[in-house]
Amino acid sequence: MENNKYIKSKELLERASKVLASGVSSEFRKYNHPHALFYEYASGSKIIDVDGNEYIDFTLSQGPLILGHSNQQVLDAVNKYSEKGQLFAGQHIKEIELAEKINQIIPSAELMRFCLDGSEAVQTAFRVARSKTGKNLFLRFEGHYHGWLDNVAYGISVPKDENLGDRNKPKVFPWCSGLSTESKSEFIIIPWNDIEILEETIVKYKDQLAAVITEPIMCNNGCIMPKEGYLEKLRKLTEDNGIALIFDEVITGFRIGLSGAQGYFNILPDLSIFAKAMGSGYPISAIVGKKKWMEEISSGRVIHAGTMNSSNPTIAASLATIIELEKDINVYHRIFELGNKLKLGLENLSSKHNQNLLVQGPGPMINTSFTELLEVNDYRDTLNSDKQKLNRFISNLHDKGVRVIGRGLWYISATTTEKDIESTLEIVDKILKDL
């Protein structure tokens, strides 16, 4: 039956598809419910689509909106600084102010460079690691996402009717057509959270490994916390073997706390990537790191460039975002508390309705899946969940005004309220009863 709730979006999608490939500007936007939607207005924790449907927004634009939609201080800072110019192809004062601030709050950020997004900052980190070590390979982990470029686009997903093979020798599948076959030889991939396999692999390939890249919390699949001692072991093994440890903090940065996951876990990576919540929705990212590594860029041995880097609006947005987060001294406490309230509420409702809903994650981000497992510790575990049931759950939530990322990921912002959580749980109560 035709769903009239989204009729205007449907019409616009038909129009868009004539001029935009499949009607969207990023692949992930295709997978909305029931199809790509068009939005008109967003403020705080709410977003409204062109059909006038309002949602409590737990997608927060795939993570960036740590201050919620349309934060006034960020908007004012962007507008005011853009009046002076947009892009100088030269340096400007706020760029130093932002770098000084990041240097103060991110433990390993002795030197940095600003870029536009997470994907390109990740590639810059590989270049730095290769230049410094004279080695070529990097080690990645199953289920981690580091952007959409070729050398990190293998091993993101498993085709239907395939499997990942042996834990010690995983099968690697391309994410899509058109990837360079050479890129496949740039990396080794292993399951995450398995100290034994990690150690064996690093010992075996230490003379070829320039870097290990990891999400410090596996946010992209299952919101999985590192097992006790895992990141510490990773730090030690990389340090002992002259391998760069890269923390991909694109999600954890400014979300799990001002100092990122490296502050949260008290582990110093050599290089890290920040994006998403760093800029409240404006295109800015950073590669930050210890001087010893970042000097590859300072010296000119490694070239990092970009016409659009550090434009006035992006720098102003990032600086204002961090200042707002610093001013609100309870902000992270509140975000954690609300996330944990949501998590506990979901777990209680799952028990009440005899469902197999598993909720994982530290609070600022959580993940929901339907599985018989009591705990999900790596990507292979996530493959045991009931994806169709999750789709029904997420679609039902959406129809009732709660917007969650399709793979079950929920984000909390500084503007998420107690009322948002309570209303959401009332809706979940009704959905789980009949799911």
Ligand X SMILES: Cc1ncc(COP(=O)(O)O)c(C=O)c1O
Which of 201, 220 has the CB closer to ligand X?
220
**CB closest to ligand X, residue no:** 118
By CB under 6 A, residue 250 contacts ligand X = yes
By CB under 6 A, residue 251 contacts ligand X = yes
In angstroms, give the least distance from the CB of 28 to ligand X. 8
Q: By rule CB under 6 A, what count of residues binds ligand X?
A: 14
In angstroms, give the least distance from the CB of 276 to ligand X. 7
Helix (H, G, I), strand (E, B) or coil at 117: coil
CA dist list (Å): 274 to 109, 285, 303, 360: 11, 5, 19, 23
By CB under 6 A, residue 279 contacts ligand X = no
Q: Of 49, 95, 215, 381, which lies in the binding site for ligand X, with binding defined by CB under 6 A?
A: 215
By CB under 6 A, residue 275 contacts ligand X = yes
Which of 115, 432 has the CB closer to ligand X?
115
By CB under 6 A, residue 269 contacts ligand X = no
Q: Of 51, 97, 117, 232, which lies in the binding site for ligand X, with binding defined by CB under 6 A?
A: 117
Residue 326 has a CB neighbour count (10 Å cut-off) of 13
Residue 171 has a CB neighbour count (10 Å cut-off) of 12
Per CB under 6 A, the segment of 116-124, 165-173, 293-301, 349-357 that binds ligand X is 116-124
Q: Which helix (H) or strand (E) element contains residue 233?
A: helix 230-240
CA dist list (Å): 416 to 219, 271, 348, 363: 20, 32, 21, 12
In angstroms, give the least distance from the CB of 29 to ligand X. 12
Q: Of 147, 191, 269, 281, which lies in the binding site for ligand X, with binding defined by CB under 6 A?
A: 147
Which of 102, 273 has the CB closer to ligand X?
273
Which of 14, 27 has the CB closer to ligand X?
27
* 244-248 sheet: strands from edge to edge: 111-115, 285-289, 271-274, 244-248, 209-214, 137-141, 187-190
Tokens of 384: 């045991």
By CB under 6 A, residue 271 contacts ligand X = no
CA 235, CA 183: separation in Å to the nearest integer?
26
> Please, which residues bridge with residue 218 across strands?
224
In angstroms, give the least distance from the CB of 122 to ligand X. 6
Which of 62, 82 has the CB closer to ligand X?
62
CA 22, CA 39: separation in Å to the nearest integer?
17
> Cα torsion at 269, 220, 329, 313 (round to 10°)?
90
Which of 10, 403 has the CB closer to ligand X?
403
CA 339, CA 350: separation in Å to the nearest integer?
16
By CB under 6 A, the residues from 218 to 247 that bind ligand X are 220
Chain residues binding ligand X by CB under 6 A are 62, 117-119, 122, 145-147, 215, 220, 248, 250-251, 275
